Amino acid sequence: MHNIYSITFSPTGQSRKISYQIAEVLSGDKQCSEIKEIDLCDTAVETVTLSADCIAVVSVPCYGGRVPQTAVERMKKIRAHDVPAIICVSYGNRAFEDSLLELADVCDGCGFRVIGAAAVVAEHNIMHVYGAGRPDEADRAEIRAFSERIRTKVYSGDFNSPELPGNHPYKEYHVLKAPVLFEKSRCAGCGLCAAECPVNAISADDFQTDMEICVNCMRCISICKNGCRHLPDEFVYGLIEKMKPVCENRKAAEFFI
Ligand SMILES: Cc1cc2nc3c(=O)[nH]c(=O)nc-3n(C[C@H](O)[C@H](O)[C@H](O)COP(=O)(O)O)c2cc1C
Ligand code: SF4
Ligand code: SF4
């Protein structure tokens, strides 16, 4: 009996959804128990040791062509003993660059054996016009087909690691920092943003953001039901224009087995 883990750092939920879809296909097999989730956005995530009877799907977003450094730090809580892992990066239709390779290295360091990898386009959570509606029906069909091939690979005992795109050393970690604006007059004081910020950057007293700590993950903006948190419009529109040449054409999801 295999235990299936979906391990995700997914501030706005896209990576988590894709991870779960892959895990569901793997768990469709009678030899598997239900899916267990480990949420690396949880600031209090506990140390976990996974044994060889587990299969893990590890998914994160791409930030500036890299793995978010918060995710790299939190992955240090996971110990695995020769556990087969399928890794996945979701990205907003610009590029995933060194992120998949870096995630593979991080997983190797934890003791996983990376047996499959996917880079899947998802709606860009800053520039929503790019990758809008992705992953779509066609992407989901491809994710399903990939997951079925992985399932066959796991049960044939083939734990070979695929060749992945990317470079060593990785590109420099450089992620744009835009101020997260807060419209206090519309705030209902529900506290959700402060409770859910993956790096505790929001005060639970006045809901102001400490931009020294904020990693611009967009979670608070996406979950505030009153729409009181947002990036400056001119920043977003400027970025959309600037990134048009590299973001506007549809990119295919890529799979590695
Ligand atoms: C700080 C930051 C940096 C990003 N960098 C990239 C990037 O380099 N390439 C890209 O295509 N998308 C980039 N994106 C878009 C996200 O990778 C994409 O929206 C992802 O699906 C979000 O995943 P999540 O919903 O699991 O948080 C970036 C988003 C953020 C917030
Ligand atoms: S989630 Fe929105 S409404 Fe709730 S405390 Fe935060 S800013 Fe205010
Ligand atoms: S304050 Fe920054 S790090 Fe925290 S949820 Fe909002 S965007 Fe993410």
The string of DSSP codes covering 195-232 is HH-TT--B-TTT--B-TTT-----HHHHH-TT--EE--
Going residue by residue through the chain, which has 257 residues, state the pLDDT in tens, using 9 for 90 and above: 578 999 999 999 999 999 999 999 998 865 566 899 999 999 999 999 999 889 999 999 999 999 999 999 999 999 999 999 999 999 999 999 999 999 999 999 999 999 999 999 999 999 999 999 999 999 999 999 999 999 999 989 999 999 999 999 999 998 878 999 999 999 999 999 999 999 999 999 999 999 999 999 999 999 999 999 999 999 999 999 999 999 999 999 999 99
CATH 3.60.130.10 is held by the domain 181-230: no
Q: How far is the CA of 125 from the centre of ligand 2 (A)?
A: 19
Q: Is 204 in the pocket of ligand 2 (CB under 6 A)?
A: no
| Spatial separation of the C-alpha atoms in residues 253 and 257, rounded to whole Å | 14
Neighbouring C-alpha atoms within 13 Å toward the C-beta of 224: 24
For the chain, domain boundaries: 2-169+252-256, 181-230
Atom 8 in ligand 2: residue holding the nearest Cα: 187
Name the residue of 40, 73, 216 whose CB sits within 8 Å of the most ligand 3 atoms, as the mutation to test its pocket.
216
Q: Is 195 in the pocket of ligand 2 (CB under 6 A)?
A: no
CA 231 to chain centre: 21
Name the residue of 91, 127, 173, 229 whose CB sits within 8 Å of the most ligand 1 atoms, as the mutation to test its pocket.
91
DSSP string, 43-60: TTPPPEEE-TTEEEEEEE
Q: Which atom of ligand 1 is nearest to the CA of 64?
A: 8
As for the ipTM of the complex, it is 0.99
Atom 6 in ligand 3: residue holding the nearest Cα: 220
Angle between the 137-155 and 14-27 helix axes, to the nearest 10 degrees?
A: 50
Q: How far is the CA of 144 from the centre of ligand 2 (A)?
A: 37
| Spatial separation of the C-alpha atoms in residues 117 and 122, rounded to whole Å | 16
Q: If we measure between CA atoms, which residue out of 45, 60, 43 comes closest to residue 6? A: 60
CATH 3.40.50.360 is held by the domain 2-169+252-256: yes
